[in-house]
Amino acid sequence: MDFTFKVLNNTRGIFSKIIENSSLEDLNKIPEGFNNNIIWNIGHIVVTEQLLACKLSGLDMMVSDDLVNKYRKDSKPEDNVNQAEVDEIKGLLFSTIKKTEEDYKKGVFKDYNVYTVSTTGNTLHNVDEALQFVLVHEGIHYGYVLALLKVIKN
């Protein structure tokens, strides 16, 4: 699982740099043909990892119910995000994955509520499978963010 956490940390670093190099306006922009924005995609990957790894393992999440409701599957941006929320999401990029990795290494993940993901139809039976899916999921949303950036910057 070391490699999985290494990839997740690297991907989260890329998302962090995107936040740093984008204006608040660009993070909130929803171009024609899209139904979400850059910051929604980044908030979504943070929330999804917490739901799939922690909540389904019966553990406490590091994200608020408010963030879960704003960024969970089937949600969409309803208002522009302010700088404070951008900063919160940016901080959660690393703090959440660090805590998940620490807990994983301590053997905290024991139980898991089996869950079938809607995007691929795969059924997750344990935290190892959940974290492997999280890699795929974050890659999908990195692709969305790259597409958004291409449209916004042109």
Judge whether 151 and 34 are in contact, CB under 8 Å. Answer: yes
pLDDT digits (tens, 9 = 90+) for 60-75: 999 999 999 999 999 9
pLDDT digits (tens, 9 = 90+) for 111-135: 999 999 998 999 999 999 999 999 9
Q: In sequence order, which ranges of 36-82 are alpha helices (DSSP H)?
A: 38-49, 65-71
Rg (CA), the chain: 15
CATH number of 2-153: 1.20.120.450
Residue type (1 letter), 76: K
Q: Where are the domains of the chain?
A: 2-153
What does pTM read for this prediction? 0.96
Cβ–Cβ contacts within 10 Å for residue 100, how many?
25
Q: What is residue 3's predicted lDDT score, i.e. its pLDDT?
A: 97
Which pair of tokens denotes residue 149? 């950036």
Residue-by-residue pLDDT tens, the chain, 154 positions: 999 999 999 999 999 999 999 999 999 999 999 999 999 999 999 999 999 999 999 999 999 999 999 999 999 999 999 999 999 999 999 999 999 999 999 999 999 999 999 989 999 999 999 999 999 999 999 999 999 999 998 7
DSSP character for 56?
G
At 152, give phi and psi (nearest 5°): -70, -40
Cα–Cα distance for residue pair 66/43, rounded to 1 Å: 12
